[in-house]
Structure 1
Amino acid sequence: MKKAPLYSRSRRPAEATPPAPPPVDAAPAAPAARARRRRVPAEAWWAAGGAAVAVAVLLAAGPLGHGARVLTQDDIDAAVRASLEKEPLPSAAAKAYEAIAPSVVRVVALGDGHAEGHDPADDAERAMQRSLGTGVVVIDNGTILTNLHVVWGANKLRVTFADGTESPARLVGVQTENDLAVLRADRIPDDLVAATMRSTADLRPGDHVIAVGHPFGIGPSVSYGIVSGLNREFRSETGKRTLTNLIQFDAAANPGNSGGPLVTMDGQVVGIVTAILNPSEERTFVGIGFAVPIENAAAAAGMPPF
């Protein structure tokens, strides 16, 4: 049975009033209760692991017998630094990419390739690539979100999954007001992984994000930046369509990134990259990109709200 779409609610802790101190004669909290009160962040586990390794290294150097020098915090800090220099921890962006990479697909829209004066038998072999973009798997039955402008008007669609599996795909849904399209692949990998989507309710300017896609057909590629603004508006070059309520970001995006995911540092999708702003005639990135919030994108695929 296929899995339901994956959602994640806000991860930003709500500010709360500190609890009142317990009475002086109160009994100590049970170990389980204490454990529930203390939420240890992931970074603390990395640090604790490094410290444990460092202490083990120091102890292995020799027993602390009578008269031996007692380990100090400086000794432990120095050992932790030495351990991290030998085997650095992955960056937050690298971990976010590792989480989303299995769900990113390459999308190619094809024309019929018919050209006057050619043998019709050859035309079938001359399928012309019309557009190239990116998509993200949102349900593990092969349901993929991408941009409508990537696939609009194509006669054939093909997707390539992260493991190299290629498949024809069908257009099964559109949301023109947000430039979104929903595809369904005919053939999928056995271990296909759907992305986890995260509400944008607590997204703030300055939050770190990555954009993943196939810029100019090179990919999958990852770029790193921040959310530059919220509730932005973008008008297409032709002036025929205006997109609203967009996420503005400064992670590099270029033609081919369209339809790819905008991802937070926890590896969860908050938007679908849809446009870049360049006041010149060049269609290249100058520092302003836009993404459709994932709430709108999920609605295009008929998914329930967060």
Structure 2
Amino acid sequence: MKKAPLYSRSRRPGPGPAVPAVPAVAATSAEPAAPAAPAAPGRRQRALQAWRRHERRLWWLGLLLVLALAWAWRAGPSGKPALTIEQIDHLMRKSIAEKPLDSAAARAYEKVIPSVVRVVGYAKDEDDTPDHAKAAREGTETPARPEAGQRKEAARAKEPEMKERGVGTGVVIIDNGTILTNLHVVLGAEQVKVTFMDGLEAEARLVSVMPEHDLAVLQSRKIPDDLAAATMRGTADLRPGDRVMAVGFPFGVGPSASEGVVSGLKREFRSPEGDRLLTNLIQFDAAANPGNSGGPLVTMEGEVVGIVTAILNPTKQRVFVGIGFAVPIENAAAGAGMPPF
């Protein structure tokens, strides 16, 4: 019996020669039955044949699909292409050029300045009293009986006027009007006045003193409605080279700010008169002059780490030569009754 031919799975058969059509002849019972026609290829075989016919096109379509997906992932949900590193760098430079960022010192100044006050000590100036009034008080001269107008003028002349004897700086450490300053700023003053940043001027009373640190605590009799206390920071992690800023009223001019670095820690300073030794001081090189005394020494975060107290100058001129000293805020806060850091 003749077997039906099988299709090759390894190679697609080529087209065979054309076969002429043969007229159909009715089968008779005498003739033998014709052989069965070859079986049609199955579904799997038809798919395999189609793949082989379009293999190159399908590979190209797959590659294009992968590229399209990659582009869509890079573009993101918005559909716009993602920025490259070079484009981001260019945009940042352009933004900074159009609107420069504030410096760290400027931000620190803005943070601490609402808590800075001008401190002025007043005392009676005996030298301004007229000579005849001094003599009258001392009983060395008997003045002639003055007229009524002259008597009023003489009464006013008997009492010397309150004169400004020293200008310094202070910093609010509690928003109830508690202020830290230097003791030498208010020492000997018969009256102390403080001026806040909003212009309010008020008398202040002396609450306590710390001579060993040249510090004094004041309490203002009036305060602004929106008074803010400075933020204080311990000096445990303060290191030489850290940037700091001194804020105050040098020679009464201000408020003024000067920037520098911490030059050293645990320094000692003896007053020019030699009667006062201060220890455990912060040395800094931000410019400070008379009037800066009692002002805050501030980090670039606007936090107070010390109270400016002295400058070192080997000459008799009271000007800054590059070495200033501040009392660590831990000592100052402890003297004000605040808990240690």
| Alpha-carbon displacement from aligned partner over 1:2-28 (angstroms, at most 9, x marks no partner) | xxxxxxxxxxxxxxxxxxxxxxxxxxx
Q: In 1, distance between residues paired with 2:129 and 2:167?
A: 25
Shift of 1:73: 1.4
1:116 aligned partner, one-letter code: T
1:116 matched to which residue of 2? 129
2:251 matched to which residue of 1? 216
Aligned residue pair count: 242
Q: Are positions 1:277 and 2:312 aligned together?
A: yes
| Alpha-carbon displacement from aligned partner over 1:43-73 (angstroms, at most 9, x marks no partner) | xxxxxxxxxxxxxxxxxxxx977xxx86321
Q: Are positions 1:81 and 2:116 aligned together?
A: no
Change in 2 beyond 3 A, CA 1:84/1:152: same
Q: Which has the higher contact order (CA 8 A, sep 6+)?
A: 1
Contact 2:170 2:179 in 1 (8 A): yes
Change in 2 beyond 3 A, CA 1:100/1:125: farther
1:71 matched to which residue of 2? 83
Tell me, what secondary structure is at the counterpart of 1:177? helix
Tell me, what secondary structure is at the counterpart of 2:124? coil
2:172 matched to which residue of 1? 137
| Alpha-carbon displacement from aligned partner over 1:216-249 (angstroms, at most 9, x marks no partner) | 1011100001000000000000000100000000
Contact 1:255 1:284 in 2 (8 A): yes
Contact 2:129 2:158 in 1 (8 A): no
Tell me, what secondary structure is at the counterpart of 1:196? coil
Runs (5+) with no aligned partner, structure 2: 1-77, 134-153
Change in 2 beyond 3 A, CA 1:123/1:196: farther
Tell me, what secondary structure is at the counterpart of 2:278? strand
Root mean square deviation of aligned Cα: 1.8
1:216 aligned partner, one-letter code: F
Q: In 1, distance between residues paired with 2:104 and 2:157?
A: 50
Q: In 2, distance between residues paired with 1:77 and 1:125?
A: 69
Superposition pairs of residues 1-306 of structure 1, within 5 angstroms:
71-114=83-126, 115-117=128-130, 119-121=154-156, 126-306=161-341
Contact 1:145 1:297 in 2 (8 A): yes
Tell me, what secondary structure is at the counterpart of 1:84? helix
Q: In 2, distance between residues paired with 1:100 and 1:164?
A: 16
TM-score for the superposition, normalised by structure 2: 0.68
Q: In 2, distance between residues paired with 1:253 and 1:156?
A: 25
Tell me, what secondary structure is at the counterpart of 1:252? coil
Contact 1:93 1:224 in 2 (8 A): yes
Contact 1:113 1:123 in 2 (8 A): no
1:50 matched to which residue of 2? none
Change in 2 beyond 3 A, CA 1:269/1:123: farther
Q: In 2, distance between residues paired with 1:64 and 1:143?
A: 59
More helix as a share of residues: 2
Q: In 2, distance between residues paired with 1:271 and 1:245?
A: 11
Contact 1:206 1:226 in 2 (8 A): yes
Q: In 2, distance between residues paired with 1:90 and 1:230?
A: 29
Contact 2:184 2:214 in 1 (8 A): yes
Shift of 1:287: 0.6
1:142 aligned partner, one-letter code: G
Q: In 1, distance between residues paired with 2:215 and 2:118?
A: 16
Shift of 1:116: 2.9
Change in 2 beyond 3 A, CA 1:198/1:110: same
187-196 vs 125-134, which deviates more?
125-134
Change in 2 beyond 3 A, CA 1:167/1:71: same
Change in 2 beyond 3 A, CA 1:187/1:237: same
2:185 aligned partner, one-letter code: V
2:289 aligned partner, one-letter code: N
TM-score for the superposition, normalised by structure 1: 0.76
Q: In 2, distance between residues paired with 1:141 and 1:240?
A: 34
Change in 2 beyond 3 A, CA 1:104/1:123: farther
Contact 1:109 1:131 in 2 (8 A): yes
Contact 2:168 2:294 in 1 (8 A): yes
| Alpha-carbon displacement from aligned partner over 1:99-149 (angstroms, at most 9, x marks no partner) | 100000000000123433264425768321100000000001110000000
| Alpha-carbon displacement from aligned partner over 1:170-193 (angstroms, at most 9, x marks no partner) | 011000000000000001000000
The percentage of aligned residue pairs carrying the same residue is 66
Q: In 2, distance between residues paired with 1:252 and 1:116?
A: 38
